[in-house]
Amino acid sequence: MNDNASASEKLLIVTFLGRDDKLDEVEYCLVEDQCVQSNRLVVALSEWYPDAQVVALVTEETEPQIPQLEERVGKEVRPVIIPSATNERDYWVIYSKLSSALLGNATNGEKIEVIFDITNGFRSLPFIGLLALEFLQSANEISIKHIYYGARDDSPDDQVPVYDLEPFQSMLEWSEATTRFIETGDARKLVKVMRHDGSLPPQLIGNESALAKLRELADSLSEFSENIFLQMTFKAGQSAAKAVSNIEGIESMGAEIGPIGLLLDKIKTSLQPLAFKGKKDEDREIVRALLNMIFWYRQYGYIEKSASLLKEWVFLACKLLDSPPKQVLDRNSCNNKLLASISPELHGIFTEVKNIRDPSAHMGIPQQASSDANTLTYGQAIEVLDEQLIALLEFAEEHDLGLSDSWFARTPSNH
């Protein structure tokens, strides 16, 4: 095998020793030309991964099998004694013991890489073991390289196929990364799994057209994430439009993209209200997309960003309401005085939101001796912002600038 651990990594094979110590000898075959004669898959794995250490989960009943297993694999096997899992408390003990055993193998900052053999796990033990591994991986303590299963019951002869189930585990990474992006706008984790071949479903492996589209989508999502946090809202709207277009291109490939299609649809739904194409869009549609961004920031707790964009948005709306309208959608096309004369409602919203935005924009650093007395607490800022967003929503709908159909609730007080 070609994925043995580097000097800064330690490779562990984690296996279960079941009660049956008299299993028939079979040929475990990972691929046609890689077959090993053995009664247990862990013996074959030790041959395929000669640098890996072996950790065996055993009960007091199966621990006596360790010397025999050490003889077969030709190396020391570290036993981790676990209970027989007769009640819920036993499962927590197993969870804890496996976690401690794996972390105890790391020295001098080594990264633990795990090959998990679930072939001979008793009842639900493989599931409990996998949950423990998933937890440690999410905490960046280990990395799951493979999850192997030797399908002894799926072979008409003595050749037993060995399946790597790790690609199914990677779907959990996709799901977690997608949720993180949708709820925070942070695309880093999602971009990472998109660009990592080991996280791709089998349908995409070798499909250069699909992979190229996925890389383009990763770039677009990364741009959107950077721009939405830098409050470069026009660029964020353009990046969102690119990402939506990328997803539609991938979706057109149908079943070829596998299960990630469900997640891409969720991403597209979250981005569509924020997307616009730029200068060629009608000004009204751009203003509507920016209104959606105001509520997006608020929905996910970015209070200062929501207030900052709202403070700018009222001037863009002012431009649309001005008669005759200015020729360019520009924040400077409407000043404070003109805003007050065109729309006292917008001017009132602007005045209230300044009390949130300005202290936050100055990082809470006092601008004058008495400024501390006027600083809002977080709870007060949310209350003021939500009141103004409700007023803003009523104004926007009255002037055909209302929110797009989207995942927003109709009033910010629901968030």
Q: What is the dihedral of CA 360, 361, 365, 367, to 10 degrees?
A: -110
27's CB contacts (< 8 A; 6+ apart) are 35, 36, 37, 158, 159, 160
On whether the CB atoms of residues 119 and 152 are closer than 8 A, the answer is yes
> Across the 415 residues of the chain, what is the mean pLDDT of every consecutive 10-residue run?
59 81 78 79 89 88 86 88 80 82 70 85 74 75 83 71 79 86 92 79 73 90 94 92 92 72 89 76 79 90 89 82 58 70 80 79 64 69 88 84 53 42
pLDDT of 136? 77
In sequence order, what DSSP letters do the residues of 268-292 get, joined into one string?
Answer: HHHHGGG---STTS-HHHHHHHHHH
- List helix spans (H) across 123-207: 125-138, 166-184, 188-195
Q: Which residues contact 70 (CB under 8 A, 6 or more apart)?
A: 76, 77
Alpha carbon distance 337, 366 (integer Å): 27
Query: Longest C-alpha distance within the chain, in Å?
Result: 90
* Residue 356 CB burial class (10 angstroms; 0-12, 13-18, ≥19): buried
Given 3-state DSSP classes, what are the helix, strand and coil percentages for the chain, each rounded to the nearest 5?
55, 15, 30
Residues 83, 61: Cα–Cα separation, whole Å? 10
pLDDT at site 408:
46
Residue 265: CB atoms within 10 Å = 12
Protein fold of 9-164: Rossmann fold (3.40.50)
pLDDT at 153: 72
- Domain locations in the chain as residue ranges: 9-164, 170-274, 311-414
In this prediction, residue 188 carries a pLDDT of 94
